[in-house]
């Protein structure tokens, strides 16, 4: 086993250590000043351009900038001069700590799990510090010994660490790239919502493909090794992932032809609501009850879909109303128009209208036709507002709302029951109770 000797702390070593300490203090001070001066503006810019309110990168902007400036200046200091051991150890330790803290805050800002962030930060700290003091080769050799060979490939702890680091770095870069593209797309006013979403989806697919090949290159994997598995992978896609790829292509087609866009109000089978988002696999439709229905993209391509806001968001609401045959139907129609006009969400153009729909068994039937421009806010609440206002207007103008009435023909009746009814009439002080009771008895005897 190789041994590593620590040189004694002589006068020359002590002088360089003091110079290195002064440089480290100056660099950390510069990093603090730069972060304090530019950090809040950077954080505000990230927050203003945020596409996700839960994205915490803006809250970590000051710390990320401070550690990044410190790490860059310390890296330049470490390579600028051939330091003695103790000075190199001090600069290397500070450089490793700044790099690990920068990586920790960046990964947490990208919403990566804290245990993974902690493990990656510790590995980066150890590797940078070992490289600074010239012990990186010893550590990598020790990690590489703990493994085994398969053919011409070597699998060891070092391989696992490289894979994990590559995956975490690629994942962070993918998130940063997606975030940057989303910000650019969202700020582009020339594109509508469907075109923006389509651009984001296509860019995300392109970024994933690019990250795959970059990861292979970082790990030094020979891409020809995948040729053996290409046939089996193709079969897996053809059979096991057929629906997944079908939904992916269907989602892209929906966005390209713009038949369904985020914000549209649609009806698919029993599902009625507004489109929240179009995902890779399904479309999210939120109902007025707050329930979120996930409808596969293929269903929207093959089934009949009602889109209330495809070419225009104006929707006509039908509100049936019945009035009595004895009332003034012309006055009733005027009140119906007034009730519709008084509703806040009913449009003045196109103006509301009232149609007589027919003569019913006990009422003259009408239909109030009112237009709204925000069906995503609901239809039932508009009907309720119009009918509540109409109820008050009918009461004020003595317009009767009919209700079913039935005549009952009694064939037999008990004398004792008739006496009880007469007694109750007398108890209420009805002077005509006795004659009414006699008439009732006579009718009962005839029947």
User: Which of 95-104, 302-311, 373-382 is modeled with the greatest confidence?
Assistant: 95-104
Q: What percent of the chain has pLDDT over 70?
A: 74
In angstroms and rounded to an integer, the radius of gyration of the C-alpha atoms of the chain is 40
Asked whether the predicted pLDDT for residue 131 surpasses 60, the reply is: yes
For residues 147 and 163, give the distance between their C-alpha atoms in angstroms, rounded to a whole number. Answer: 14
Using a CB cutoff of 8 Å and minimum separation of 24, what contacts does 37-41 make?
A: 38/65, 39/65, 39/66
**What per-residue confidence (pLDDT) applies to 229?**
57
CATH of domain 247-307: 2.30.30.60
Which range (149-158, 163-172, 313-322, 401-410) has the least confidence?
Answer: 149-158
Sign of the torsion angle spanned by Cα atoms 132, 133, 134, 140: negative
**What per-residue confidence (pLDDT) applies to 428?**
66
Tokens 């470490």, residue?
Answer: 78
pTM exceeds 0.85 for this model: no
- Is 155 within 8 Å of 143 (Cβ atoms)? no
Domain boundaries, the chain: 11-199, 247-307, 315-396, 415-446
For residues 291 and 271, give the distance between their C-alpha atoms in angstroms, rounded to a whole number. Answer: 10
Cα 148 from chain centre:
45
For residues 316 and 309, give the distance between their C-alpha atoms in angstroms, rounded to a whole number. Answer: 12
Which range (148-157, 240-249, 273-282, 340-349) has the least confidence?
Answer: 148-157
Q: Is the peptide bond before 254 cis (omega within 30 degrees of 0)?
A: no
Q: DSSP 3-state assignment of 379?
A: coil
- Cβ count within 10 A of residue 383: 17
Going by pLDDT thresholds of 50, 70 and 90, the confidence category of residue 388 is very high
Q: DSSP 3-state assignment of 414?
A: coil
Residue 139 C-beta-side C-alpha neighbours within 13 Å = 15
Name 4's Cβ contacts closer than 8 Å, sequence gap at least 6: 135, 138
Q: Is 350 left (phi over 0), alpha (psi -120 to 50) or beta?
A: beta
For residues 226 and 217, give the distance between their C-alpha atoms in angstroms, rounded to a whole number. Answer: 14
For residues 98 and 89, give the distance between their C-alpha atoms in angstroms, rounded to a whole number. Answer: 14
Query: In terms of DSSP H, where are the helices of 188-226?
Result: 193-219
Q: DSSP 3-state assignment of 133?
A: coil
Going by pLDDT thresholds of 50, 70 and 90, the confidence category of residue 447 is very low
Asked whether the predicted pLDDT for residue 60 surpasses 70, the reply is: yes
Q: Which CATH class is domain 315-396?
A: alpha beta
Sign of the torsion angle spanned by Cα atoms 134, 138, 139, 140: positive
DSSP code per residue over 340-365: HHHSTTS-SSSPPEEEEEEE-SSSEE
Angle at 127 between CA 18 and CA 21, to 5 degrees: 10
Tokens 């009595």, residue?
Answer: 324
Mean pLDDT of the chain: 77
For residues 338 and 332, give the distance between their C-alpha atoms in angstroms, rounded to a whole number. Answer: 10
User: Which of 224-228, 240-244, 373-377 is modeled with the greatest confidence?
Assistant: 373-377
Per-residue pLDDT reduced to its tens digit, 22-52: 988 998 999 899 888 888 887 777 776 655 5
344-371: average pLDDT: 88
For residues 77 and 213, give the distance between their C-alpha atoms in angstroms, rounded to a whole number. Answer: 34
SS3 content of the chain, % helix, strand, coil (to 5): 60, 15, 25
54-80: average pLDDT: 82
Going by pLDDT thresholds of 50, 70 and 90, the confidence category of residue 2 is very low
For residues 355 and 268, give the distance between their C-alpha atoms in angstroms, rounded to a whole number. Answer: 29
429-443 exposure pattern, b = at least 16 Cβ within 10 A, e = fewer: eeeebeeebeebeee
């Amino acid at each position: 086993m190789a041994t590593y000797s620590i040189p004694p702390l002589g006068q020359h070593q002590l002088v360089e250590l003091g110079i290195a300490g002064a440089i480290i203090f100056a660099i950390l001070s510069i990093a603090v000043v730069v972060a304090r001066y530019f950090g809040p503006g950077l954080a505000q810019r990230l927050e203003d351009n945020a596409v996700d309110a839960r994205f915490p990168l803006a809250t970590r902007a000051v710390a990320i900038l401070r550690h990044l400036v410190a790490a860059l200046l310390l890296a330049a200091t470490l390579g600028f001069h051939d330091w003695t051991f103790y000075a190199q150890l001090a600069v290397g330790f500070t450089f490793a700590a700044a790099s690990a803290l920068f990586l920790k805050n960046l990964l947490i800002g990208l919403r990566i799990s804290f245990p993974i962030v902690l493990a990656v930060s510790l590995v980066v700290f150890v590797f940078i510090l070992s490289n600074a003091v010239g012990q990186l080769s010893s550590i990598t050799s020790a990690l590489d010994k703990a493994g085994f060979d398969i053919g011409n490939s070597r699998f060891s702890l070092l391989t696992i660490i490289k894979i994990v680091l590559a995956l975490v770095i690629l994942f962070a870069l993918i998130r940063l790239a997606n975030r940057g593209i989303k910000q650019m797309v969202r700020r582009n006013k020339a594109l509508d919502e469907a075109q923006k979403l389509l651009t984001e989806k296509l860019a995300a697919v392109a970024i994933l493909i690019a990250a795959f090949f970059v990861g292979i290159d970082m790990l030094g994997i020979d891409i020809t090794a995948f040729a053996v598995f290409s046939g089996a992978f193709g079969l897996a896609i053809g059979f096991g992932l057929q629906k997944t790829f079908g939904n992916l292509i269907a989602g892209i087609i929906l966005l390209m032809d713009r038949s369904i866009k985020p914000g549209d109000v649609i009806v698919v089978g029993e599902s009625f609501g507004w489109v929240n988002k179009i995902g890779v696999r399904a479309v999210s439709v939120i109902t007025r009850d707050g329930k979120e229905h996930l409808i596969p993209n293929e269903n929207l391509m093959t089934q009949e879909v009602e889109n209330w806001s495809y070419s225009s968001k104006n929707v006509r609401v039908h509100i049936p109303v019945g009035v009595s045959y004895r009332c003034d139907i012309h006055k009733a129609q005027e009140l119906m128009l007034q009730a519709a006009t008084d509703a806040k969400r009913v449009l003045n153009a196109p103006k509301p209208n009232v149609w007589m729909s027919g003569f019913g068994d006990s009422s003259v039937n009408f239909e109030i036709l009112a237009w709204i421009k925000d069906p995503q806010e609901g239809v039932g609440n508009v009907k309720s507002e119009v009918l509540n206002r109409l109820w008050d207007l009918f009461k004020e103008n003595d317009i009767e709302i009919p209700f079913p009435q039935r005549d009952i023909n009694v064939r037999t009746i008990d004398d004792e029951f008739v006496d009880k009814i007469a007694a109750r009439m007398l108890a209420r002080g009805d002077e005509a109770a006795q004659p009414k009771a006699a008439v009732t008895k006579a009718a009962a005897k005839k029947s």
